[in-house]
């Protein structure tokens, strides 16, 4: 539609735009809350993590001179802004998940960001016991456990060859 990727073909449709794709899949598989209030909370948690996700995604493509400052920015945003929100939400939820006592797309996206931040800063969760417990619970969800196995579809952090190829293909 917009001559771009990602594009997902599902249920006879060609969906583009990441959020539209994620919302459709979340709604289809009951990961998008039971009512509008839960959806609003899910959306807030997902949008709240976007800035941190954007920093993580662009990190491998930054010039070497900017990587250290970006890593520090990732650490600051995670520790000062994002992780305390999710820590508190998990403490208040009582059910182990962020919204409604069941797995939602917010849980999946926060979990992915936690994994990505930990790949850069392994001890980042040391002051966040709720997030540590959440990470452990999420790792035990059967579909996620399978996804995290070696050889799965989860992509490793981009290496130099990957970055070089992307830069060439996109003509950066």
Say whether both 102 and 46 belong to one domain: yes
Does the predicted model carry a pTM greater than 0.85? yes
* Closest CA relative to residue 50, chosen from 97, 108, 109, 103: 109
Determine the structural domain holding residue 80 and report its residue range: 35-161
64 part of a folded domain: yes
Task: Give the rounded distance of the alpha carbon of 124 from its chain centre.
Answer: 16
Q: Are strands 13-16 and 7-10 parallel, antiparallel or unpaired?
A: antiparallel
Geometric angle at alpha carbon 71, from 46 and 123, rounded to 5°: 80
Q: How many residues does the chain have?
A: 172
Q: What are the pLDDT tens digits along the chain (172 aa)?
A: 777 778 899 999 999 888 899 999 999 999 999 999 999 999 999 999 999 999 999 999 899 899 999 999 999 999 999 999 999 999 999 878 999 899 999 999 999 999 999 999 999 999 999 999 999 999 999 999 988 888 777 777 788 888 888 888 877 7
Residue 172 lies in a domain: no
Distance CA 90, CA 94 (A): 7
CATH of the domain at 122: 1.20.1050.10
Residue 167 within any structural domain of the chain: no
Q: Are the C-beta atoms of residues 48 and 98 closer than 8 Å to each other? A: no
Residues 71, 126, 97: CA angle, nearest 5 degrees: 100
In this structure, the answer to whether residues 20 and 44 fall within a common structural domain is no
84 and 136 in a common domain: yes
């Amino acid at each position: 539609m917009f001559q771009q990727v990602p594009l997902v073909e599902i249920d006879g449709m060609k969906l583009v735009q990441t959020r539209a794709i994620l919302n459709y899949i979340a709604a289809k598989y009951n990961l998008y809350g039971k009512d509008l209030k839960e959806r609003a909370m899910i959306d807030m948690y997902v949008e709240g993590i976007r800035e941190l996700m954007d920093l993580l995604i662009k990190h491998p493509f930054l010039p070497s001179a900017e990587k250290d400052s970006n890593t520090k920015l990732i650490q600051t945003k995670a520790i000062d802004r994002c992780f305390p929100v999710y820590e508190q939400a998990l403490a208040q939820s009582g059910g182990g998940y962020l919204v409604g006592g069941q797995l939602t797309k917010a849980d999946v996206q926060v979990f992915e960001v936690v994994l990505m931040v930990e790949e850069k800063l392994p001890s980042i969760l040391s002051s966040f016991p709720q997030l540590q417990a959440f990470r452990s619970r999420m790792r035990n969800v059967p579909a996620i456990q399978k996804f995290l196995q070696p050889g799965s579809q989860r992509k490793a952090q981009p290496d130099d060859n990957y970055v070089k190829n992307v830069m060439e293909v996109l003509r950066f």
